[in-house]
Structure 1
Amino acid sequence: MVSCFTFATAGLCLLISIANADRCIKHSDCLFENTVCLLRHCVVAQPVASNENQCRTNWHCRCGVNDFFERSGRFCKNGYCFQLVDAFGSVGCTTHNHCPFNSLCISRHCVYAEPTNKPCFRTGFCGIGERCIQGICYQPSSLIIHPSVETVYPESPVVIIVSPRGSITTDLTDIIQDELAANINTELPFIIPPHIIL
């Protein structure tokens, strides 16, 4: 979805367009040709290699495809059929847990994901179409992420405490100490959701 205002500098319009390039309501909102709109995010897709590639609705792209996972990942964009690109060579999914790291399960396909830098305790803390991975919300990516790029996480657990009143009760301190002791040898960050803090 492109929002643009006319200002004295032409560069401002470009920046606004890029910032909104991954948000969408319909497939045509996705600026990159090989992307489709799913759960308000532009997701990487590829044209279907077929003589009958033209379509008016998603149904035209799914009709005659017997494989359940393949059928669910087909969409009609601008009159042509596209299919989701499976992240890191994965094959089908029914939950995020079936997908490799740095990917999400959308329309029964593991799609590439990128961090939003928003901390989370579980997926319910993230936005629509996002997933909580090791304490950070991830969103679908409109770009293919190269598998050789690794994300570096802290060697010891990280505790993020947000306290609007500035006080932590003794009970909460005990909970934090217990969780740190239980997770001392893990690489996952431990994040305490704000609603627990008194």
Structure 2
Amino acid sequence: MNSTVVVFGLLTVLISIHVGEGCETLKHYQCAGRNMLCFRSKCIMAFKMPYAQSCTTNAECRLAATAGRQRFTVGCNRGQCNTLLNPELPNQFCRRQSDCSKMAGIMKFMCIRTACVLAMPTTRYCDRDHLCKTGESCINGVCYEPVDK
């Protein structure tokens, strides 16, 4: 488990965040929690699709998703349709990493399957994605990996 300390003036907040564990892409059941999806060989925090029924396949979740790019962000994990899209964040769709850089706040996001997902830095430096490990992205000279919860 990795932890990050964020300082706001005199207030120090400890945020406990887990980075994505390994899995075989699209085998969502390999992730520890039901609210996770496996893309780019990493377990990634996901959100239950509010309008979806139970599922047995990823295809059922794609059919339940609204048309367009959202279909790339969904999957079935342990009978539940999930999406990488956080219902509380606007403008999460991306075509490239620079689209996620526009999201406000102190947290970093990375582009995975057309969705900006929360990411944490690793200890590796980079100038391009190929210098990072599988499932990571190079953001401002540092390799980032998706958060799993």
Q: Specify whether residues 82 and 68 from structure 1 end up closer, same or farther in structure 2 by C-alpha distance, changes over 3 A only.
A: same
Backbone CA RMSD of aligned residues? 2.3
Q: Specify whether residues 88 and 117 from structure 1 end up closer, same or farther in structure 2 by C-alpha distance, changes over 3 A only.
A: farther
Shift of residue 32, structure 1, vs aligned partner: 2.5
| Bigger relative contact order (CA 8 A; separation at least 6) | 2
Give 3-state SS (helix, strand or coil) of 1:76's partner. Answer: strand
Instruction: State the match for 1:138 in structure 2.
Output: 144
**Does 2:36 correspond to 1:23?**
no
Mapping for residues 36-185 of structure 1, pairs under 5 Å: 36-50=37-51, 52-86=52-86, 89-100=90-101, 102-143=108-149
- The one-letter code of the counterpart of 1:59 is A
- The one-letter code of the counterpart of 1:68 is G
Identity of aligned residues (%): 31
Deviating 4+ runs (over 2 angstroms): 64-67, 85-91
Shift of residue 88, structure 1, vs aligned partner: 5.0
Q: Specify whether residues 57 and 140 from structure 1 end up closer, same or farther in structure 2 by C-alpha distance, changes over 3 A only.
A: same
- The one-letter code of the counterpart of 2:32 is L
Larger Rg: 1
What TM-score do you get using the length of structure 2 for normalisation? 0.73
Shift of residue 70, structure 1, vs aligned partner: 1.6
Give 3-state SS (helix, strand or coil) of 1:89's partner. Answer: coil
Aligned residues: 124
Shift of residue 24, structure 1, vs aligned partner: 1.4
Give the structure with the higher percent strand. Answer: 2
Q: Specify whether residues 20 and 109 from structure 1 end up closer, same or farther in structure 2 by C-alpha distance, changes over 3 A only.
A: closer
The 1-side partners of 2:20 and 2:137 are apart by: 20
The 1-side partners of 2:85 and 2:50 are apart by: 13
The 1-side partners of 2:72 and 2:21 are apart by: 21
Shift of residue 59, structure 1, vs aligned partner: 0.8
Shift of residue 20, structure 1, vs aligned partner: 9.2
Shift of residue 91, structure 1, vs aligned partner: 2.6
Shift of residue 89, structure 1, vs aligned partner: 3.4
Shift of residue 118, structure 1, vs aligned partner: 0.5
Instruction: State the match for 1:169 in structure 2.
Output: none
The 2-side partners of 1:28 and 1:129 are apart by: 18
Unpaired runs of 5+ residues, structure 1, are 1-18, 144-198
Q: Specify whether residues 43 and 21 from structure 1 end up closer, same or farther in structure 2 by C-alpha distance, changes over 3 A only.
A: closer
What TM-score do you get using the length of structure 1 for normalisation? 0.56
Unpaired runs of 5+ residues, structure 2, are 1-17, 102-106
The 2-side partners of 1:88 and 1:47 are apart by: 14
The 2-side partners of 1:128 and 1:21 are apart by: 11
